[in-house]
Chains A and B, each alone.
Chain A
Amino acid sequence: MNQVSLKKPIRKRVMKWVVVAIVILIYVWAFWGAPHIEIKDSAKQALKGIFSGFAHPDWGYIYDPEGEDLLRSLLETLAIAVLGTFISAVLCVPFAFWGARNMSKNKAISSVGKFVLSCIRVFPELIMALIFIKAVGLGPFAGILALGFHSIGMLGKLFGESIENTEFSAREALIASGANKIQTLWFAILPEVMPAFLSYTLYRFEISVRSATILGIVGAGGIGAPLIFALQGHTWPRVGIILYGIVVMVTIIDVISAQIRKRIV
Chain B
Amino acid sequence: METVKPKKTKIKTLLTIVLVIAIIWGSIINTQISLSTLIQGLPNIVDLIKEMFPPDWSYFGSITNQMLETIRMAVLGTTFGGIIAIPFALLSSSNVVKIPVVYQVFRFIMNLIRTIPELLLAALFVPVFGIGELPGILAIAVFSFGIIAKLFYEAIEAIDPGPLEAMTAVGANKIQWIFFGVIPQVIAHYMSFFLYSFEINIRAAAILGYVGAGGIGLVLNNALGFFQYDRVLTIIIYTLIVVVIVDAISNKLREKLL
Q: Give the residue name and chain of the A residue nearest to B34 (CB).
A: A141
The segment from A104-112, A120-128, A165-173 found at the interface with B is A120-128
User: With A47-B128, A123-B236 given, is the CB distance from A141 to B75 under 8 Å?
Assistant: no
Q: Report the bound CA distance from A38 to B32 in whole Å.
A: 47
* A43 and B129 contact, CB distance less than 8 A: yes
* B45 and A134 contact, CB distance less than 8 A: yes
Residue numbers in A under 8 Å from B210 (CB-CB): 126, 217-218
Is A94 interfacial (CB 8 A cutoff)? Answer: no
Interface string of A182-194 (1 = CB under 8 A from B): 0000000000000
User: With A126-B207, A251-B111 given, is the CB distance from A30 to B72 under 8 Å?
Assistant: yes
* B128 and A76 contact, CB distance less than 8 A: no
Is A151 interfacial (CB 8 A cutoff)? Answer: no
* B72 and A231 contact, CB distance less than 8 A: no
Q: Report the bound CA distance from A151 to B188 in whole Å.
A: 29
Q: Report the bound CA distance from A196 to B134 in whole Å.
A: 40
Is B83 interfacial (CB 8 A cutoff)? Answer: no
Is B41 interfacial (CB 8 A cutoff)? Answer: yes
Is B58 interfacial (CB 8 A cutoff)? Answer: no
Residue numbers in A under 8 Å from B240 (CB-CB): 119, 122-123
* B115 and A251 contact, CB distance less than 8 A: yes
Q: Give the residue name and chain of the B residue nearest to A40 (CB).
A: B130
Residue numbers in B under 8 Å from A46 (CB-CB): 127-128
Q: Give the residue name and chain of the B residue nearest to A47 (CB).
A: B128
Is B187 interfacial (CB 8 A cutoff)? Answer: no
Q: Report the bound CA distance from A217 to B38 in whole Å.
A: 21
Q: Give the residue name and chain of the B residue nearest to A15 (CB).
A: B256
Interface residues on A, range: 35 or more
User: With A127-B236, A251-B112 given, is the CB distance from A210 to B117 under 8 Å?
Assistant: yes
* Most chain B CB within a 10 A radius of its CB, from A39, A136, A250: A136
The one of A37, A82, A122, A246 that contacts B116, using a Cβ cutoff of 8 Å: A246
Is A75 interfacial (CB 8 A cutoff)? Answer: yes
User: With A82-B24, A141-B37 given, is the CB distance from A118 to B244 under 8 Å?
Assistant: yes
Residue numbers in B under 8 Å from A221 (CB-CB): 31
The segment from B98-106, B118-126, B155-163 found at the interface with A is B118-126
User: With A79-B26, A126-B210 given, is the CB distance from A30 to B76 under 8 Å?
Assistant: yes
* A132 and B72 contact, CB distance less than 8 A: no
Is B224 interfacial (CB 8 A cutoff)? Answer: yes
* B41 and A136 contact, CB distance less than 8 A: yes
Distance in Å: Cβ of A156 to nearest Cβ of chain B: 16
Distance in Å: Cβ of A206 to nearest Cβ of chain B: 10
**Could you list some 20 contacts between A and B, CB below 8 A?**
A19-B253, A26-B75, A27-B75, A29-B72, A30-B75, A34-B133, A34-B137, A38-B130, A42-B127, A76-B30, A78-B27, A124-B203, A134-B41, A140-B33, A141-B34, A144-B31, A145-B38, A213-B120, A217-B119, A246-B115
Binding site for A on B (CB under 8 A): 23-24, 26-28, 30-34, 37-38, 41-42, 44-45, 47-48, 68-69, 72, 75-76, 79, 111-112, 115-117, 119-120, 123-124, 127-130, 132-134, 137, 203, 206-207, 210-211, 214, 220, 224, 232, 236, 239-240, 243-244, 247, 253
> When A and B form their complex, which 3 residue pairs have the shortest distance between CB atoms, in order from nearest?
A135-B41, A79-B27, A250-B115
